[in-house]
Amino acid sequence: MNRNEPCWCGSGQKYKRCHLDFDEKIAAFPIDYKKDQCRPPHEIIKTPADIEGIKKAGVINDGALDLIAQNIKAGMDTLTLNDMADAFITKHGGIPACLNYEGYPKSICISINNVVCHGIPSKDTILKDGDIVNVDITTIFNGYFADASRMFMIGNVSPETKKLVEVTRECMELGIAAVKPWHFLGDVGAAIEKHAHQNDYSVVTALGGHGVGKQFHEEPFVNHTGKKDTGMLLVPGMVFTVEPMINMGSYDVFIDADDGWTVYTKDGSLSAQWEKTILVTDTGIEVLAK
Ligand code: MF3
Ligand code: CO
Ligand code: CO
């Protein structure tokens, strides 16, 4: 774009006074193709208006997860939690992104014990003492998406199961801590994989994190395993999720043949997941949904 044109980010300033240096820094950044390094495509760099939009969706999404946290307990069916989240999001002017997404039948995902992700809420699924439960909610507000999930432990959970939930949270936080501008996305998977393996757990590789913006799933695909200094260059303005799925047994998974959605561990072992949506900033990261 011309140096004197208004910047693509919508600031109203001339390009040369705004994002020109930034674009030149990306273009000049040394990329090692042997390490699978690549530059981020321009379309996934968010403008200040985009970031404000995602933030607002994140506030509603956080509120829905807080509401679940206050109400979830043994004896409850998971459709009740689905409807609670749906009503909250709708009341605040949002849309539950999962509903009808590629044919998904409910508003949120609730995944219990050996269900890895994409568990479909149902009147017939009753939470019981000792269960570990992932509740994954995505909200659309004003055209922008925000995506997060948390684990909940129902009643008395065994110490070894509690450890899986806690280590998985640490995996997410270590993955997020590895996100630094002008470093590479592979650092995230490397940090997650290291911590999971140190605890004798496995990392699911069939699914990963993803860019978030005006669409549910955008570039980049965020691997939860991998090598440092590989993959996409991280630059300020990128927004994506970190959402490791960690299994007590093997990393192998399969999809329920009947509903086409529910993802299970192949060996029946327990699985946990935590997810946040984050923004890469000039100095580190900012959490947009948690
Ligand atoms: N929220 C999930 C994610 O973290 C996606 C759920 S898609 C659905 O990417 F269709 F199953 F809802
Ligand atoms: Co996600
Ligand atoms: Co999610």
Task: Please tell me the predicted confidence (pLDDT) of residue 259.
Answer: 98
Proximal ligand: closest to the CA of 118: 1
Residues of the chain with pLDDT under 70: none
Question: pTM value?
Answer: 0.98
Cα 18 to middle of ligand 1, angstroms:
35
CA distances from 4 to 14, 22, 26 (A): 5, 15, 20
> Which of these, 93, 79, 98, 84, lies nearest to 137 by C-alpha position?
98
Q: Which residues sit opposite 239 in a β-bridge?
A: 279
With 0-12 / 13-18 / 19 or more C-beta atoms within 10 angstroms meaning exposed / middle / buried, residue 152 is buried
Residue 49 host element (H or E): helix 48-71
- Give the C-alpha separation, 129 to 82, whole Å: 20
Task: Please tell me the predicted confidence (pLDDT) of residue 18.
Answer: 97
Residue 274 in tokens: 């935590």
- Give the C-alpha separation, 281 to 45, whole Å: 11
Proximal ligand: closest to the CA of 120: 1
Task: Please tell me the predicted confidence (pLDDT) of residue 152.
Answer: 99
For 121-140, write each residue's pLDDT tens digit.
999 999 999 999 999 999 99
**100, 107, 147: which to mutate for ligand 1, most atoms within 8 A of CB?**
147
Task: Please tell me the predicted confidence (pLDDT) of residue 20.
Answer: 98
- Give the C-alpha separation, 99 to 112, whole Å: 19
With a 6 A CB cut-off, is 221 part of the ligand 1 pocket? no
Nearest C-alpha to atom 11 of ligand 1 is from which residue? 118
Task: Please tell me the predicted confidence (pLDDT) of residue 155.
Answer: 98
With a 6 A CB cut-off, is 224 part of the ligand 1 pocket? no
For 205-224, write each residue's pLDDT tens digit.
999 999 999 999 999 999 99
